[in-house]
Amino acid sequence: MMNAHVRTEASEAARPASSLLEVKNLTTEFRTERGTVRSLHSVSFGLGEGEALGLVGESGCGKSVTALSIMGLLPQPAGRIVSGEILFNGVDLTKLSDREMEAVRGKDIALIFQDALTSLNPVLTIERQITEAARRHLGLSPAAARRRAIEFLDLVGIPAPDKRISDYPHQFSGGMRQRVMIAMALVCGPRLLIADEPTTALDVTIQAQILELLQRLRKELSMALIMITHDLGVVAGIADRVNVMYAGHVVETGMVRQIFKNASHPYTAGLLGSIPKLDSIRGSKLQSIKGTPPDLANPPPGCPFTPRCSHAFDKCAEPPPRSSPEPAHAAECWLLEAGVNTADSRGLS
């Protein structure tokens, strides 16, 4: 019984065999007028070749800062990586020069944002924008870059790509612009795609098209994916593994079924309880979590979830260690360390 709770190196257990990306104890801060904001607290996770990782949590928990830290795109000079390593194919990205990082971005790792409208340059044609990276990173001739761009527009389902490639972004609908963004991200054949809320601005039927597209491309191009979203439904469909973030901490990590069927952290359980179930009784009360996430300029000591947690006890004033209730599954909560199953105690409370 106690043996199941291996306290040490839980993240080792959760790590896939062949590691493409290894984030180790990543801590990122911003200097703001209200003082230093620690947006990531010693975040660690790994990602295997071709694997899909979901990054979930409420707004401000550090999902985008994780993406920006990996990409070397933290706003300067306010943001900086304080400590930690980001190993991509064994190379620590935090140690690369701007120029070296420039070569990784777009070529080996690509990022797409929530808002395709603002991410595309309105005064340049789609052709200009999509061929630019292909010429720079792959050294293609203009004609070859154009052919490759058309091929990728076709791949993401833009009809008549040889004609539409001469259009400007405003001539495309929201869903099509998001497809163009995806084509642009993929044109150099990255090994890892980071998608930061790629469907949040889209309607649900268009979201379904884009999610289906990402799933298909990921398989066809055997590319790893980090899917950032606050929508647990999206994660359930696309992720192999899930990191649940809260106030800059990865509070729980595990295979997608472990997270959804056997949540170990009270925050994860609370999030899942906050979503109406399809079979819920009309008018039944949702579980909900009291209060709001903490102000990161002034976080509570110890476990960041303490003020909202219905299980909090005296030990929670200290930072909880990572414990592993089962292989590949780990959470930062004192209850686990003490061998208490949150799912059981939830029934009692």
Partner 1 sequence: MMNVHLMHNNSASNRPVLEVANLKKHFVIGKSFFGGKPLTKLKAVDGVSFAIGAGKTLGLVGESGCGKSTVGKTILRLYNPTEGSIRVLDQEISALKPKAMRDVRRSLQMIFQDPYASLDPQMTVGRIISEALEIHGLPKGQSHASRVKELLSLVGLDPVVANRRPKEFSGGQRQRIGIARALAVEPKVLVCDEPISALDVSIQAQVINLLQRLQDELGLTYLFIAHDLGVVRHFSDRVAVMYLGGIVEIADRDRLYADPLHPYTKALLSAIPVPDPDVEQQRRRILLRGELPSPLNPPLGCRFHTRCPFATDRCREEVPALVAVAPGQEVACHYWQELRGVEGRPNQSILETEK
Ligand X SMILES: Nc1ncnc2c1ncn2[C@@H]1O[C@H](COP(=O)(O)OP(=O)(O)O)[C@@H](O)[C@H]1O
Q: Which residues of this chain interact with ligand SF4, rule CB under 6 A?
A: 265-266, 303, 305-306, 309, 311-312, 316, 320, 333-335
CB 11 within 8 A of CB 45: yes
Question: Cβ of residue 230: shortest distance to partner 1, in angstroms?
Answer: 6
| Rounded CA separation 250/80 (Å) | 19
Question: Cβ of residue 27: shortest distance to ligand X, in angstroms?
Answer: 12
Which residue stretch of 35-43, 113-121, 275-283, 309-317 sits at the interface with partner 1 (rule: CB under 8 A)? 275-283
DSSP structure string for 70-81 = HHT---TTTEEE
Q: Binds 60, which of Mg ion, ligand X, ligand SF4, none (CB < 5 to 8 A, cut-off by type)?
A: ligand X
Which residue stretch of 14-22, 59-67, 96-104, 251-259 sits at the interface with Mg ion (rule: CB under 5 A)? 59-67
CB 51 within 8 A of CB 16: yes
Within a 10 A sphere around the Cβ of 173, how many other Cβ atoms?
A: 10
CB 81 within 8 A of CB 39: no
Q: Does 292 bind ligand X (CB under 6 A)?
A: no
Question: Cβ of residue 145: shortest distance to ligand X, in angstroms?
Answer: 33
Cis upstream peptide for 77 (omega within 30°): yes
| Position closest to ligand X via CB | 64
Name, in order, each residue with C-beta under 8 angstroms of 37's C-beta and a sequence gap of 6 or more.
29, 30, 31, 296, 297
The DSSP 8-state label assigned to residue 303 in this structure reads S
Q: Does 275 bind partner 1 (CB under 8 A)?
A: yes
Q: Binds 63, which of ligand X, partner 1, ligand SF4, none (CB < 5 to 8 A, cut-off by type)?
A: ligand X
CB 252 within 8 A of CB 331: yes
Of 75, 142, 233, 339, the one binding ligand X by CB under 6 A: 75
Footprint of partner 1 (CB under 8 A): 58-59, 154, 157-159, 173-176, 203-209, 211-213, 216, 230-237, 256-257, 260-261, 270-278, 280, 282-290, 292-293
